[in-house]
Structure 1
């Protein structure tokens, strides 16, 4: 398949730069939760980025880290997790559903990054099926998914495990009838090759980050799943993504340049930069002419675009 209708939702146009809600709207709502996704959709944001991992019993769930994180998860008594953080792949779906992920521990380093995030109670890690069911409703027919499959660092080289994870994720998307509204998104280029093999109807989106930019506090490192990248080889990345069959290139916003955006565009790639939160940085990305801005604060990007006479949606 050479044409992908879902790409148009992520491509810029005259007076139009696309807006992607990162993990919903992490800056203001609990990340990767149904409450966060519903809020984001209510704000008129129709592109959702989120992370998927697999439980011990093979259920695709929406969460970023491979462990339940003590700065995010509370037990049945409402207490923050103590001691060793349970691994997602060691828990069944029923066990995982006992934890509350509706807020952040404000004393933790991760919690201090998002002081404006709402604190809710009784919020659970959703299954991929839950989000697909929401998006499949008629009122959300214009919503598209940037689905990032997380690579388990302990199983990076396990081709069988990789194929099983991809198959489980694809089955949920297909069951909901959302293949033409979904991108497969990852730092793991081997995993993306497996996605293209199993689901040629869904385009692949390649995440990259230069190693000198440290991983964010409180988050699992993901860049080790991809190819080795240096400042000297960075400008070759658009070409490598295109050669690998990618349709989107998703660089870390501090890495992107006018030249690299131009090169990507020459190769027919869509450029979606992550994760852009500060007003000056949002302005810079608009000036560079990227196709899409991935952000924890959708409202900030909306305001910037409107102030500059631009939009994030095609208005009928």
Structure 2
């Protein structure tokens, strides 16, 4: 099946797309409405973000399955200490009591983003909040790479997979944004469920080779991502055989040969998460279709300096 939304992420001659990772995590609070709005305002209409379900079955936009201590502050303005509550154990109303506008600079996670603005009264958004923003007339060229965050504790529960996918699709379809949404995950079983329930939406297959270290403060993908040991060169074929429209690998895992193979198979190659200037340059040289980044302006600048673009006219 041909998916029109795939073309919004596909590059071309002198064209590499830019995708704002969790909005623009390097400069504004991640997975926040202010971050998404900023990214759209600078001419980057492609957004990548994470969706988890609350206890009352509300799809919310946040990365980890637990409230992330370096980014969540309580009603007293204090960063969380001790055991992090699980998102799925809290109602949406309870989660709204936490502020995600600042980073704890004393943590390894906080030290990764020294330029992120420090704000107050920023809350975890519902998925539908972002969908409503995308529906605004001025955002008619925006497209979404929606990552379904598979719960490792429930990864083998078919009822959970069916319910999770169905609840997310209810919001996507209810706002009329099926034609501008890509379903995206490290959990290939979850993506199979997406294809079953939504054959009209393309699927994006996230991959990371097991030898790569996890980023500090992040939920690891390795408990849900397939084990690619000994199959590195076969990954584009595996994605294609699984019915994927996108291959979304960790940027350090790709080579000129793997990018060329994926493109020959008709896959759109979208690499994550590329922040450093030398890595941005290498991805441009490899002619990936799109670059997911915490610093969309940084990638724009590299492309502009090379006489390249990130959008079609």
Task: Give yes or no for TM over 0.5.
Answer: yes
Q: Which residue of 2 aligns with 1:217?
A: 216
Are the aligned partners of 2:134 and 2:140 in contact in 1 as well (CA < 8 Å)? yes
> Where in structure 1 do 4 or more consecutive aligned residues deviate above 2 Å?
none
Taking the aligned partners of 1:142 and 1:224, their CA distance within structure 2 comes to 35
Are the aligned partners of 2:208 and 2:225 in contact in 1 as well (CA < 8 Å)? no
Taking the aligned partners of 1:279 and 1:134, their CA distance within structure 2 comes to 31
Q: Which residue of 2 aligns with 1:126?
A: 125
Are the aligned partners of 1:250 and 1:274 in contact in 2 as well (CA < 8 Å)? yes
SS state at 1:157 partner? coil
Question: Residue 289 of structure 1: CA displacement?
Answer: 0.8
Q: Which residue of 1 aligns with 2:279?
A: 281
Q: Which residue of 2 aligns with 1:89?
A: 88
Taking the aligned partners of 1:159 and 1:255, their CA distance within structure 2 comes to 30
SS state at 1:20 partner? strand
SS state at 1:223 partner? coil
Q: Which residue of 1 aligns with 2:184?
A: 185
Deviations 1:239-259 (A, max 9, x none): 000000000001100000000
Are the aligned partners of 1:135 and 1:141 in contact in 2 as well (CA < 8 Å)? yes
Q: Which residue of 2 aligns with 1:45?
A: 44
SS state at 2:253 partner? coil
SS state at 1:82 partner? coil
Are the aligned partners of 1:50 and 1:147 in contact in 2 as well (CA < 8 Å)? yes
**Residue among 304, 307, 314 paired with 2:305:** 307
Taking the aligned partners of 1:172 and 1:215, their CA distance within structure 2 comes to 31
Taking the aligned partners of 1:280 and 1:168, their CA distance within structure 2 comes to 40
Q: Which residue of 1 aligns with 2:15?
A: 16
- Aligned-residue RMSD, C-alpha: 0.6
SS state at 1:77 partner? coil
Question: Residue 218 of structure 1: CA displacement?
Answer: 0.2
How many residue pairs are counted as aligned between the two chains?
313
Are the aligned partners of 1:151 and 1:222 in contact in 2 as well (CA < 8 Å)? no
Q: Which residue of 2 aligns with 1:170?
A: 169
SS state at 1:277 partner? coil
**Residue among 259, 271, 280 paired with 1:261:** 259
Are the aligned partners of 1:248 and 1:271 in contact in 2 as well (CA < 8 Å)? yes
Q: Which residue of 2 aligns with 1:76?
A: 75
Taking the aligned partners of 2:102 and 2:233, their CA distance within structure 1 comes to 39
Deviations 1:24-50 (A, max 9, x none): 000001000001001111111000000
Taking the aligned partners of 2:258 and 2:162, their CA distance within structure 1 comes to 32
Taking the aligned partners of 1:157 and 1:125, their CA distance within structure 2 comes to 27
Question: Residue 84 of structure 1: CA displacement?
Answer: 1.2
Are the aligned partners of 2:249 and 2:272 in contact in 1 as well (CA < 8 Å)? yes
Q: Which residue of 2 aligns with 1:293?
A: 291
Question: Which residues in structure 2 correspond to 1:217-236 (within 5 Å)?
Answer: 217-230=216-229, 232-236=230-234
- The answer to whether structure 1 residue 104 and structure 2 residue 103 are counterparts is yes
Where in structure 1 are there 5+ consecutive unaligned residues? none
Taking the aligned partners of 1:307 and 1:82, their CA distance within structure 2 comes to 44
Taking the aligned partners of 2:162 and 2:126, their CA distance within structure 1 comes to 19
Question: Residue 224 of structure 1: CA displacement?
Answer: 2.0
Taking the aligned partners of 1:64 and 1:202, their CA distance within structure 2 comes to 22
Taking the aligned partners of 2:287 and 2:128, their CA distance within structure 1 comes to 34
Question: Residue 227 of structure 1: CA displacement?
Answer: 1.4
Q: Which residue of 2 aligns with 1:143?
A: 142
Are the aligned partners of 1:55 and 1:89 in contact in 2 as well (CA < 8 Å)? yes
